[in-house]
Chain A
Amino acid sequence: MRRFLRIYLPFSKAGMQEMMAYRFNFIFHLIGEMLSCFVMYFVWLAVFESSDSSTFMGFSMVDMTVYLFISFMASFLTYSDGAINIGEEIRDGSIVMRMIKPVNFDMYLLFHELGSRFVSIFIVLVPMSVGVELYKFFVTGSVMFSLPNFALFSVSIIIAYLVSFYFNVCYGFLAFFLKNLWGSSVLKDAIISFLSGAKIPLAFMPPALAAVLTVLPFASLSYTPVMLYMGIYDAPQIIWSLSLQLFWLVFFWGLSKLIWRLAMKRLCVQGG
């Protein structure tokens, strides 16, 4: 274990340094992405003003705001594109540079990305959760922060990130077949934002559809952590949803290994 960390932690450090070098880019990117949360916030405010009841499908305005911002935060923290070039590298042969090094390709990419994720804990997670809790305090007048819920959220978001990472490793291999990944990235991100409940809470969808979507891996990416943060699930649901997350983690981890092995068998690099 010590040896393992000694090998891979320097990659995290490099990832962290890269992130710090481009921190202004990152912050602008974050602000841009967050604007849509504010648009949605005002749309929901108008919805609640135009509506006779104080809840919408079981969500109050406070719930809705918490959902909006926490689910944005969850999708942001679990976003992974460290492996996006892997298929491209196989095609142009630069993958050999990874193969001659005594490190695992996925561990290398994972630890490299974890470095930047570590920085985003301070730039994203801390300010946003403090902001959401302050908002709840000012609107309801009572402190509602629950440490157990936050702990469950933290566990869940780590698993969610790993699911996202291995899912994107599998997706990165697609570049084998698609000439460039830009077009399909747009499609993938659109589909995931819908299927993961990041755009519309799964609870608002027709029950049959919602039931299917909660089982699919995409709910594990952001919906599960958000539900845990909000403390909506009871004990059996918590155990079930966390196990489901673990299942999808193992699934995509195995799948990525399988594809890697198949790709290595067929790999043929010409020249140097």
Chain B
Amino acid sequence: MLKKIKRISKMHRIFIAQDLKKLMEYKVDFLTGMFGFMVYQTINLLFLWIIFSGIPALHGWSYDEIIFIYGFSLLPKAIDHLFFDNLWSVGYWLVAKGDFDKYLTKPLNPFFTVLVEKFCVDAAGEFIVGIALIAVTIGKVSIQWSVMNVLLFILILPCATLIYTGIKTITASIAFWTKRSGHITHAFYLMNDFAKYPTSIYNDVIRNVITYIIPFAFTAFYPASYFLTGENPLFNLGGTVIAAAVLMTIGMLIWNKGVKSYESAGS
């Protein structure tokens, strides 16, 4: 087991090194992409700033708290984007064009190979903005930074990330039967927009969907609200862990079933 993990992490390092080499080739494109994500986030912040110029608080949450939640929401998104971006390619063209063959011929787990093939450094744009927003607001919101909470913060990020990865895995796997599913992934992925705001602003239907069915609310608002208020750790943090575990399990089941029914493209 330990040997296997060692081997896998060694492989991962080799893949990342390859990607960094590619990156040096496309420096300008990488920088514009990263800059693009930062501009996009800045515009969203400008929007928040404009609405808060008219109101003191949004459903009881102050400007700084909303910014903290917003910054928090970018972190799992960025981590998923950094490591697991290649799942998009599965649904968009790897299966449809038959390129998925190459993963099956390698002596590595196909899921692992797909994931590590692309190390998407563009995500740095989201990551930097996320960290910056948390850093700026951290002094202005009431968070108890006990050792316990710092540990929880570090531990909850991978779980929140896996919610993204799980949803992407499930929707990407659909391509094994339908050939293309990138647009389904796209439609589900964009639901993460709902997670950036307090769930109390939505109606019951949307609140239930983003909590229990496509649980993006657990990638940002719920865990962030625990750190802000210290309330309901069992639901706010436990829910994140459960959602991540459930989604990844379903994702792996569908993926493995899908790989078995994968038919390569002709010629």
Contacts and interface: CB of A to CB of B under 8 A. Distances in A.
Chain A partners chain B: yes
Interface of A: 24-26, 28-29, 31-33, 35-36, 38-39, 42-47, 49-51, 56-57, 178-180, 182-191, 193-194, 199-200, 204-205
B47 A184 contact: no
Nearest 3 A/B pairs, CB to CB? A183-B33, A187-B36, A186-B36
Contacts of B188: 32
B46 A32 contact: no
A50 B36 CA distance: 32
Contacts of B190: 32-33, 35-36
A210 to B, nearest CB: 12
Contacts of A38: 206
Main SS at interface, chain A: helix
19 contacts: A24-B183, A25-B183, A28-B187, A29-B186, A32-B190, A39-B193, A39-B194, A42-B206, A43-B201, A46-B201, A47-B51, A50-B59, A178-B32, A179-B25, A182-B33, A183-B32, A183-B122, A184-B36, A190-B37
B29 A42 contact: no
Contacts of A200: 43, 46-47, 50
B54 A47 contact: yes
Given A39-B194, A186-B40, A50 B58 contact: yes
Interface in B149-208: 180, 182-184, 186-191, 193-194, 196-198, 201-203, 206
A57 B37 CA distance: 29
Nearest to B37: A186
Contacts of A190: 36-37, 39-40, 43
Interface of B: 25-26, 28-37, 39-40, 43-44, 46-47, 50-51, 54-59, 122, 180, 182-184, 186-191, 193-194, 196-198, 201-203, 206
B201 A35 contact: no
A98 B58 CA distance: 55
A46 B54 CA distance: 12
Nearest to A57: B54
B58 to A, nearest CB: 5
A206 B188 CA distance: 35
A47 to B, nearest CB: 5
Nearest to B122: A183
B26 A32 contact: no
Given A32-B188, A32-B190, A187-B32, 14 more contacts: A25-B182, A32-B189, A35-B190, A35-B191, A49-B59, A178-B32, A180-B26, A183-B26, A186-B40, A187-B33, A187-B36, A193-B40, A199-B43, A199-B47
A33 B40 CA distance: 15
A90 B186 CA distance: 31
A25 B180 contact: yes
Contacts, number: 123
Contacts of A178: 28-29, 32
B33 A193 contact: no
A184 B36 CA distance: 7
Contact of B30 (A43, A44, A183, A205): A183
A51 B55 contact: yes
Contacts of B122: 183, 186
A178 B202 CA distance: 42
Contact of A35 (B26, B31, B183, B194): B194
Contacts of B43: 190, 193-194, 199-200
A54 to B, nearest CB: 12
Contacts of B50: 200, 204-205
A24 B180 CA distance: 10
A183 B203 CA distance: 36
Contact of B59 (A28, A35, A46): A46
A185 B47 CA distance: 21
A28 B26 contact: no
A180 B180 CA distance: 23
A28 B186 contact: yes
Contacts of A186: 32-33, 36-37, 40, 122
Contacts of A183: 26, 28-34, 36, 122
Nearest to A180: B29
Contacts of A182: 29, 33
A28 B183 contact: yes
A10 B29 CA distance: 36
A30 to B, nearest CB: 9
Nearest to A53: B54
B202 A42 contact: yes
A199 to B, nearest CB: 6
A191 B43 CA distance: 9
A44 B29 CA distance: 35
Residue of A36, A39, A56, A179 with most chain B CB atoms under a 10 A cut-off: A39
